[in-house]
């Protein structure tokens, strides 16, 4: 990994953590659709950091998810349930952002907050482990 890639990995992980904090603020305000958006993007930034660490990237969300599944899920570096959460969150974000009359509720979204935090931490730990 080049020095500039290392800086980008750190930046993306920081963005993931900041975006999780934004999601918490939105949850506290009862803004469930934008909260789902921020949860997805927090996970997206963490996946992006992980892929950049390995010299991989994609300009499209589907491409990023495909690379993540191919290089980390199918190789058992990331548990399938974590990948399923990320993929489901992508679908929920799509619905909340682009489908009319979709309104997420507190009971749906609150369980996703700690799951997204665990997802980001899991990938941050994996990145750190790869440095060794």
Mean pLDDT of the chain: 94
Q: What is the pTM of this model?
A: 0.94
Residue 1 in this model has a pLDDT that exceeds 60: no
User: What contacts 120, CB < 8 A, 6 or more positions away?
Assistant: 13, 16, 17, 20, 42, 43, 46
For residue 132, is pLDDT > 70? Answer: no
Query: What pLDDT digit, counting tens, does each position of 71-103 carry?
Result: 999 999 999 999 999 999 999 999 999 999 999
Residue 72 DSSP label: I
Supply the CATH number for residue 57's domain.
1.20.120.330
Q: Which two tokens stand for residue 86?
A: 């990320």
* Residue 12 pLDDT exceeds 80: yes
pLDDT at 129 over 90: no
Of 34, 35, 37, 39, nearest in space to 117 by CA: 39
Query: Reduced to 3 states, what is the DSSP secondary structure of residue 74?
Result: coil
Q: Which domain holds residue 49?
A: 3-131
Domain count, the chain: 1
């Amino acid at each position: 990994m080049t020095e500039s890639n290392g800086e980008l990995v750190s930046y993306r992980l920081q963005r993931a953590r900041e975006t999780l904090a934004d999601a918490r603020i939105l949850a506290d305000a009862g803004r469930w659709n934008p909260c789902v958006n921020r949860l997805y993007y927090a996970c997206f930034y963490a996946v992006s950091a992980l892929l950049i660490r390995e010299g991989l990237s994609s300009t499209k969300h589907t491409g990023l998810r495909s690379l993540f599944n191919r290089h980390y899920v199918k190789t058992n570096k990331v548990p399938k349930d974590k990948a399923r959460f990320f993929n489901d969150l992508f679908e929920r974000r799509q619905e909340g952002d682009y489908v009319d009359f979709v309104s997420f509720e507190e009971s749906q979204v609150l369980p996703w907050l700690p799951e997204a935090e665990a997802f980001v931490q899991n990938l941050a730990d994996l990145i750190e482990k790869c440095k060794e």
